Amino acid sequence: MNNTVGRFAPTPSGRMHLGNVFCALLSWLSARSKGGSIVLRIEVLDTQRAPRHFADLLEQDFRWLGLFWEEGGSFGGPNGSYYQSERTEIYLEYYARLEKMGLIYPCFCSRAELHSAEAPHMSDGRFLYTGRCRNLTEEQRKELQKTRKPAARVLVPEKTICFDDLHYGPQKEELHIECGDFVIRRGDGVFAYQLATAIDDALMGVTEVIRGNDLLSSSPRQIWLQQTLGLPSPEYGHIPLLTAPDGRRLSKRDGDLDLGALQKRFPGPEPIIGMLGYLAGLIDRPEPVKAEELIPLFSWDKVPKEDISMTAEMLNELQR
Ligand code: GLU
């Protein structure tokens, strides 16, 4: 094994679907093709939302797919716990550091206020925070606190974050213009994905993060948090999303493509891995293969950049 450490970071709120498997497969292949290892981290911050048995099922699903990992999940390891729901103390410690740096302020805005007409709208559908609660006085905060539980927002500086995406190449974001102050802890005390994931990737020694391009805009925030907290940043590589023939993103709603249904239809994972390997441009035809057979064939040059639309025939093949 060399020093590359990739990761699976699933949020098991249900059974894995084809899109999740595609992401896990490419994360695994990218690390394995360099002789690297894989960490499994279960990304559930709000324990009420995802019971533990989904995480256990997910491990069975990874094994069934032939996507083995070295550290994390129920195996544990030196950087555990690998369940975000058990890492609250760690997040609290880093949150306190940001607080000490004067970078956190309470935000009382309701959803409606955040999405109001005055809030600048980003091209990816996000709303840029107007900074409404940034300069409230102590009295105003006290008054508002009587009726609302504030979220905690982090004050972003005028700073440009640049990184070289393993797949999409050089990226650049002006944090204060394109992102704005963002929430790192919800009003109910649950830490936000951005904070938890930035900390965990760094503390778990992850050197490369491969994930869907819907999270491309999260990377500058995570890199900035790591820099601010004195933590190392991994490399990031984003991948195209799988879509249904009508262009809709495959999701948990496509229950007939989840691993429970697929395992009933197929005795082994090879036809599924073969189809995903084909969609990733690694093989010429969607023929059955084992995940490990794709390791020597993996290269970022072959992977498409545009989102990948599955054809009706492909879906029929998987749903038969
Ligand atoms: N937990 C996220 C998900 O399952 C992935 C987050 C990440 O890869 O950073 O969608």
Beta carbon of 206 within 6 Å of any ligand 1 atom: no
Nearest atom in ligand 1 to 20's CA = 4
Nearest atom in ligand 1 to 210's CA = 8
pLDDT in tens, 30-67: 999 999 999 999 999 886 666 788 899 999 999 999 99
Task: Identify the DSSP state of 93.
Answer: H
Mean pLDDT, rounded, for 262-290: 96
What is the distance between the alpha carbons of residues 297 and 283, in angstroms, rounded to a whole number?
8
User: If DSSP codes are grouped into helix, strand and coil, which group holds residue 172?
Assistant: strand
Residue 170 pLDDT greater than 60, yes or no:
yes
What is the residue with the minimal CA distance to atom 6 of ligand 1?
9
Instruction: Residue 80: count other Cβ atoms within 10 Å of its Cβ.
Output: 15
pLDDT in tens, 147-160: 999 999 999 999 99
Residue 201 pLDDT greater than 70, yes or no:
yes
Residues in Cβ contact with 43 at an 8 Å cutoff, skipping those fewer than 6 apart = 9, 10, 11, 84, 193, 196, 197
- The DSSP line for 11-35 is --SS--BHHHHHHHHHHHHHHHTTT
CA of 10 to the centre of ligand 1 (A): 5
What is the distance between the alpha carbons of residues 89 and 196, in angstroms, rounded to a whole number?
11
For domain 5-85+240-319, give its CATH number from 3.30.750.200, 3.30.420.40, 3.40.50.970, 3.40.50.620. 3.40.50.620
Phi, psi of 219 (to 5 degrees): -60, -45
Beta carbon of 244 within 6 Å of any ligand 1 atom: no
Residues in Cβ contact with 288 at an 8 Å cutoff, skipping those fewer than 6 apart = 268, 270, 271, 273, 274
CA of 301 to the centre of ligand 1 (A): 24
Beta carbon of 249 within 6 Å of any ligand 1 atom: no
What is the distance between the alpha carbons of residues 192 and 194, in angstroms, rounded to a whole number?
5
CA of 11 to the centre of ligand 1 (A): 6
Q: Which two tokens stand for residue 192?
A: 């936000």
pLDDT value of position 316: 86
CA of 137 to the centre of ligand 1 (A): 36
Instruction: Residue 183: count other Cβ atoms within 10 Å of its Cβ.
Output: 19
Average pLDDT of the residues of the chain: 92
User: If DSSP codes are grouped into helix, strand and coil, which group holds residue 157?
Assistant: coil
For domain 87-239, give its CATH number from 3.40.50.720, 3.30.930.10, 3.40.50.620, 3.30.1600.10. 3.40.50.620
Domain with CATH 3.40.50.620 in the chain: 5-85+240-319, 87-239
Beta carbon of 130 within 6 Å of any ligand 1 atom: no
Mutate to test the pocket of ligand 1, among 43, 49, 214, 226 (most ligand atoms within 8 A of CB): 43
The crossing angle, in degrees rounded to 10, of helices 193-203 and 219-228 is 60
Instruction: Residue 240: count other Cβ atoms within 10 Å of its Cβ.
Output: 20
282 against 49, higher pLDDT? 282
Beta carbon of 10 within 6 Å of any ligand 1 atom: yes
Nearest atom in ligand 1 to 218's CA = 9
- The DSSP line for 174-209 is EIIIII-SEEEE-TTSPBPHHHHHHHHHHHTT--EE
